[in-house]
Structure 1
């Protein structure tokens, strides 16, 4: 069985467009020519890839099975072309990485700065988000590395075991929050306050839930759930909310006297952070450069 990258590109473009005509426009070919390309691919595979309907093209079971492999092969071909061009001096190469907010505000900038100091022609694309968004971007080939709180490996994503470190999370509040005036402050005192946190199912929410459980406490009533770090910080600063944040996320606000850790004696909530990659495929050379820099930083921190 042999098929070309051109055939796979045609196949994935039809899937994305849901229409032979729209895919032909995207690829700048005629519809009959595109149809012949897919027909030859189907002949190579010995089975139809699409069911043709009046409303568009729908994948068959064979097409569904081929899609992730076609996407991976095209992505690896792009990586190979980019790396070869970079070696020849024809292109810069691109690091594609995603990170949770606490890493994006401290560790990742240091790593990126270190990489660009050694390889100034590289470009860097960064997305920020909680784990579910990073995992989705990793599987969609939008990023090659994801930096997040440690979670169990899956069939498709695995942690890079020699690139991990720790940070500490705290309850944060504005400097004029009423709880700061309370004597013998404890975690239970926060239960009747207004809280804003990342959504349920995210790493920070689950970490906070685990810490409250370790103190034999229920979770407080959460008034606002949002993925926006800007919104969380604004609610803490301007509206008197409490929130749960890793220390690197608010070091700037702490230094500026905007908001800071709520001084609850004995509350030390550590978590492990690590780098993740797809199980399948080769890690592109630019991503390897960033990974090596992260390893050096995390080893120093450890």
Structure 2
């Protein structure tokens, strides 16, 4: 291990993370109760020891360099691990079994995660679980930062380029959905030209399912309608579907779950052949 890493202490890691978040030496110096010149000197010395520029200086403050982002990622993970160890030791002192797991899941994977949790608790009944539901992009950011231990959701696109381990759990088709009395609901087959007349609700740009949809459209020479709504909120999306003639694209399993629960009935529209794509659901750790 390099000497510079051996010299770093917890408050150094906290200072680095604060610099990454604040981007201002004066503000961070005040937060850490040190002088601004002392902080600037320490940062310069650290950069000299590491041999790279951690923060780029500009007129408005500091911006992490690519190397700085890498160090900040590890610093945040170490801080999170230490905070968790404090929690688990406190549980141990109170007589509880040490063990915790933070799970991040996307909306499409909630059924899969729920089943896995029940099996896990049968084997480890005193395990402390923390479950967070988001779309994949912020979940993967949380995973890289050490804020969650495992992520279950759609796998694909730029996510596969991240330095993470992946395991495919299953694949399933995606489908167009709309409210039961939508004008398209009575049609046996729907063409692209039919879908183009209605406002779409789609997942945000950059999410795995959106990338798959965009790629499928490009491959077949069609474009996403201009008046689409990007939504990462299933509650908002389902409310809009119930209250309007908008259409959306969901994984088949998720669409069937919402339809079977009754609180958000949907009609699965027949998908044009050119738009048939599959959702890859996997765990990332």
Question: Does structure 2 conserve the Cα–Cα contact (< 8 Å) formed by 1:85 and 1:91?
Answer: no
Which of 171, 190, 213 is the equivalent residue of 1:166?
Answer: 171
- 1:93–1:122: 8 Å Cα contact kept in structure 2? yes
Deviation at 1:166, TM superposition (A): 1.5
Equivalent residue, structure 1, for 2:101: 95
Tell me which residue corresponds to 2:225.
Answer: 221
CA gap 1:64/1:218 in 2 versus in 1, 3 angstroms: closer
The CA RMSD over aligned residues, in Å, is 4.2
- Distance in structure 2 (CA, Å) of the matches to 1:44 and 1:259: 57
- Counterpart Cα distance in 2 of 1:160 and 1:125: 19
1:8 maps to 2:16: no
Q: Deviations over 1:225-256 (max 9, x none)?
A: 22222222122211011111112323343121
**1:260 matches 2:267:** yes
From the superposition, tell whether residues 83 and 167 of structure 1 become closer, same or farther in structure 2 (CA, over 3 Å): farther
3-state SS in 2 of match to 1:232: helix
1:16-49 deviation digits (Å, cap 9, x = unpaired): 455677557756xx536x959x859948974898
Q: TM-score w.r.t. structure 1 length?
A: 0.68
How far residue 63 of structure 1 moved from its aligned partner, in angstroms, is 6.4
1:264-287 deviation digits (Å, cap 9, x = unpaired): 58686422211112xxxxxxxxxx
User: C-alpha distance in 1, partners of 2:67/2:258?
Assistant: 53
CA–CA distance in structure 1, aligned partners of residues 68 and 24 of structure 2: 15
Deviation at 1:126, TM superposition (A): 0.8
Superposed, 1:1-302 pairs within 5 Å as 1=3, 2-12=6-16, 14-15=18-19, 16-17=21-22, 23=28, 30-31=33-34, 35=38, 39=42, 42=45, 46=49, 66-79=71-84, 89=95, 93-104=99-110, 106-117=111-122, 118-129=124-135, 131-151=136-156, 156-161=162-167, 163-182=168-187, 184-188=188-192, 189-212=194-217, 216=220, 218-223=222-227, 224-255=229-260, 256=262, 258-264=265-271, 269-277=277-285
SS at match of 2:267: strand
Deviation of 1:261 (Å): 1.0
Alpha-carbon separation, structure 2, partners of 1:276 and 1:125: 15
User: Where does structure 2 lack aligned partners over 5 or more consecutive residues?
Assistant: none
Mapped to 2, the partners of 1:175 and 1:60 lie a distance apart of 51
Corresponding residue of 1:300: none
Q: Once the 2 structures are TM-superposed, how far is the Cα of residue 206 of structure 1 from its aligned partner?
A: 2.7
Greater CA deviation, 15-24 or 139-148? 15-24
Query: Which 5+ residue runs of structure 1 have no aligned equivalent?
Result: 278-302
